Amino acid sequence: MLYQVTDWDDAYVNGAYIPNADSYPPRWAEAAAAFRATHPSERTGHGDRQGHLFRPEGTAKGLMVFIHGGYWLRFHPDDWSHLAAGALAAGWACLMPGYRLAPEARIAEMVQEVAAQIDAAAGRINGPIAICGHSAGGHLAARMICTGGPLPEEVAARVSACLPISPLTDLRALMRTKMNETLRIDPAEAAAESPALLEPRPGIPVTAWVGGAERPEFLRHARLLADAWAGLGAPTRLVVDPGRHHFDVIDPLARPGSAMLRCLLEGVSP
């Protein structure tokens, strides 16, 4: 069957294809605020885009990183605090980095800002570092483990796993959307910042995870990353989570012992 995108803006619209989509952001914010009320965090970063570092009871086994999405245009680390629950229950610290959004920052700048917060948190938390992110955050998660940066060598050497969830991995496609009037991705930035066009750091297990009910473009991006990086010798897998859509595919991060969380923290195949 031929696959061809004829409407690039519709191809990247999620809410129109998810029942009761408008109810998700307020529910996320409410759950996140309730979580922070009982789990105080250390603030990370600078300005109004500060992130959160949550610590478990006792000595942390390692550092889990969750990078939020929103097409590099919206949302804040405050909206996702509840997703740290699973990592904390497993004895891991959880960093939710903040970063400036477009049009204030270019994607290349966001990459550096996220890397700087991971570097700072790595100085506070010992042990392995497991990096995940959702949607645009999935792009940033994958970008963290590309050869040549942006993480310092001593921090990159500690990365034990990377789990890009519903990631955007080839920015050339986003250049065809109206969003790019704000994102301002140009061919040079797309070539420099698209994980699928770059090489992964050797030896880090990478799992591209995507919902089975997601838009075709998100399935394509996840498959593209897994296939491209497998072709470069990286240990990769693709997980298509049956029935999950773009807004609920991240829910298992909050559940201790979920297949997604065990894949990220323990390297257990789902």
| In the predicted structure, residue 12 carries a pLDDT above the cut 90 | yes
Gap between the Cα atoms of 223 and 220, Å rounded? 5
**Any idea which residue has 């001593």 for tokens?**
154
Separation in Å, CA 156 to CA 118, 128, 254: 10, 10, 25
Average pLDDT in the 194-205 region?
Answer: 97
Domains of the chain: 8-265 (3.40.50.1820)
| In the predicted structure, residue 149 carries a pLDDT above the cut 90 | no
Least confident of 43-52, 79-88, 254-263: 43-52
Identify the pLDDT of residue 172.
98
Identify the pLDDT of residue 48.
77
Which residues sit opposite 238 in a β-bridge?
208
Per-residue tokens: 253? 């991060």
Give yes or no for a contact between 250 and 165, defined as CB atoms under 8 angstroms apart. Answer: yes
Gap between the Cα atoms of 3 and 86, Å rounded? 37
- 55-74 pLDDT per residue, tens: 999 999 999 999 999 999 99
Residue 52's pLDDT band (boundaries 50, 70, 90)? very high
Identify the pLDDT of residue 46.
80
pTM flag (> 0.95): yes
Give yes or no for a contact between 12 and 177, defined as CB atoms under 8 angstroms apart. Answer: yes
Residue 1's pLDDT band (boundaries 50, 70, 90)? confident
